[in-house]
């Protein structure tokens, strides 16, 4: 009984208080946004303040951010009074009259959104239309059923009528676009890191190549010098008799051997991984 009483109180409040009714519609709309996996402050913002070219302030209910700096404007419109009269009507005539008023109220909302021209505001990268959200699915369906032209009426004025069931595929698509954009960003970051690592390895390889060339040059010069000193026709052969002639020649002559630098063999070993 208490739940029934509270439901009746809420229904009366929503039908009688336009501000409360608007706030309730915004809450339902944000729930749809969050159900699609979108986060406030990341993928969308509420009541973002804009100024039109003539200086008028515009406050769309929700501004959805999309990749590539694009936006989508969502505005909630709740119309319950005439729909409630249609539900409680005793005759078909009274029901039709109430539904006519219900459709007129929706058309008025469409005209109001069209005049605000959210998609033309500076700073909004909009696709050129606004999504008008009706939080009560049954009221949305009944309006489309009673007036088959109302959707086209809004479309011609760049206002697309949506309810939760028709809005969710759009929001899910936007959520997937963000996931793809994030994956692409991560892949690009990985590619950049891989490029940086490759360049660093290339620099080390260049330095090793220069060091190897220097070692090869030094080794060749060393071997030429050893040959000149220790070879049969070298300096050692010419001075060896001085030891016999001079008592002061008492140091032992070390045995000089050329350095073996089989560069190609060592390079092959490095490439095959056989060097320990």
Distance in angstroms (rounded) separating the CA atoms of residues 155 and 158: 5
Distance in angstroms (rounded) separating the CA atoms of residues 172 and 165: 11
Given this model, what pLDDT does residue 215 score? 77
What's the burial of 151, exposed, middle or buried (CB within 10 Å: 0-12/13-18/19+)?
Answer: middle
Per-residue pLDDT for 43 more than 50?
Answer: yes
Given this model, what pLDDT does residue 276 score? 47
CA–CA–CA angle 104, 107, 111 (5° rounding):
135
Given this model, what pLDDT does residue 273 score? 52
Helix (H, G, I), strand (E, B) or coil at 160: strand
What's the burial of 18, exposed, middle or buried (CB within 10 Å: 0-12/13-18/19+)?
Answer: exposed
Q: Which residue has the higher pLDDT, 198 or 172?
A: 172
Given this model, what pLDDT does residue 255 score? 67
Q: For residue 88, how many C-alpha atoms fall within 13 Å in the half-sphere facing its CB?
A: 6
Q: For residue 52, how many C-alpha atoms fall within 13 Å in the half-sphere facing its CB?
A: 12
215-256 pLDDT per residue, tens: 778 777 777 776 766 655 666 666 666 666 666 666 766 666
Given this model, what pLDDT does residue 149 score? 93
User: By percentage, how much of the chain surpasses pLDDT 90?
Assistant: 19
Mean pLDDT of the residues in the chain: 78
Distance in angstroms (rounded) separating the CA atoms of residues 116 and 125: 16
Which residue ranges make up each domain of the chain?
2-162, 195-272
Per-residue pLDDT, averaged over 199-215, amounts to 78
Q: Which residues contact 22 (CB under 8 A, 6 or more apart)?
A: 76, 78
Q: Which residue has the higher pLDDT, 243 or 194?
A: 194
Per-residue pLDDT for 17 more than 80?
Answer: no
Per-residue pLDDT, averaged over 146-160, amounts to 92
Q: Strands 62-66 and 44-46, how do they pair?
A: antiparallel
Given this model, what pLDDT does residue 218 score? 78
Distance in angstroms (rounded) separating the CA atoms of residues 26 and 39: 15
Distance in angstroms (rounded) separating the CA atoms of residues 78 and 15: 9
| Cβ 140 vs Cβ 146: under 8 Å | no
Q: Which residue has the higher pLDDT, 52 or 267?
A: 52
Per-residue pLDDT band at 159 (split at 50, 70, 90) = very high
User: By percentage, how much of the chain surpasses pLDDT 70?
Assistant: 74
Given this model, what pLDDT does residue 275 score? 47
Domain 2-162 has CATH 3.40.1350: yes
Cα-Cα-Cα-Cα dihedral of 206, 210, 215, 216, to 10°?
Answer: 100
Given this model, what pLDDT does residue 238 score? 63
pTM, two decimal places: 0.62
Per-residue pLDDT for 123 more than 80?
Answer: no
Per-residue pLDDT, averaged over 178-196, amounts to 77
- Give the single-character DSSP code of 40: B
Per-residue pLDDT, averaged over 147-172, amounts to 92
Pull the structure tokens for residue 114: 């069209």
Question: Angle 92-116/137-146 helices, nearest 10 degrees?
Answer: 100
Q: Which residue has the higher pLDDT, 160 or 82?
A: 160
Given this model, what pLDDT does residue 172 score? 92
- Give the single-character DSSP code of 68: G
Dihedral sign, Cα of residue 113, residue 46, residue 43, residue 55: positive
């Amino acid at each position: 009984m208490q739940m029934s009483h509270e439901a009746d109180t809420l229904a009366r409040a929503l039908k009688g208080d336009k501000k409360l009714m608007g706030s309730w519609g915004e809450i339902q709309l944000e729930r749809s946004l969050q159900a699609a996996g979108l986060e406030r402050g990341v993928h969308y913002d509420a009541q973002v303040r804009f100024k039109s070219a003539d200086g008028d302030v515009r406050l769309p209910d929700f501004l959805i951010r999309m990749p590539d700096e694009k936006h989508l404007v969502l505005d909630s419109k709740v119309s319950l009074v005439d729909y409630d009269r249609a539900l409680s009507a005793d005759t078909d005539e009274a029901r039709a009259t109430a539904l006519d008023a219900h459709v007129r109220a929706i058309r008025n909302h469409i005209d109001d959104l069209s005049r605000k021209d959210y998609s033309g505001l500076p700073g909004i990268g909009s696709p050129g239309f606004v999504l008008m959200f009706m939080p009560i699915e049954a009221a949305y369906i009944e309006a489309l059923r009673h007036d088959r032209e109302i959707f086209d009426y809004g479309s011609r004025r760049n206002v697309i009528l949506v309810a939760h069931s028709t809005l969710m595929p759009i929001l899910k698509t936007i959520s997937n676009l963000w996931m793809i954009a994030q994956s692409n960003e991560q892949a690009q970051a990985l590619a950049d890191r891989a490029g940086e690592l490759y360049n660093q390895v290339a620099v080390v390889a260049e330095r090793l190549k220069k060091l190897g060339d220097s070692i090869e040059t030094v080794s060749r010069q060393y071997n030429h010098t050893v040959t000149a000193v220790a070879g049969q026709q070298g300096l050692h052969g010419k001075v060896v008799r001085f030891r016999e002639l001079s008592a002061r020649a008492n140091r032992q002559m070390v045995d000089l051997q050329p350095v073996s630098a089989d560069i190609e063999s060592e390079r092959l070993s490095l490439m095959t991984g056989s060097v320990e």
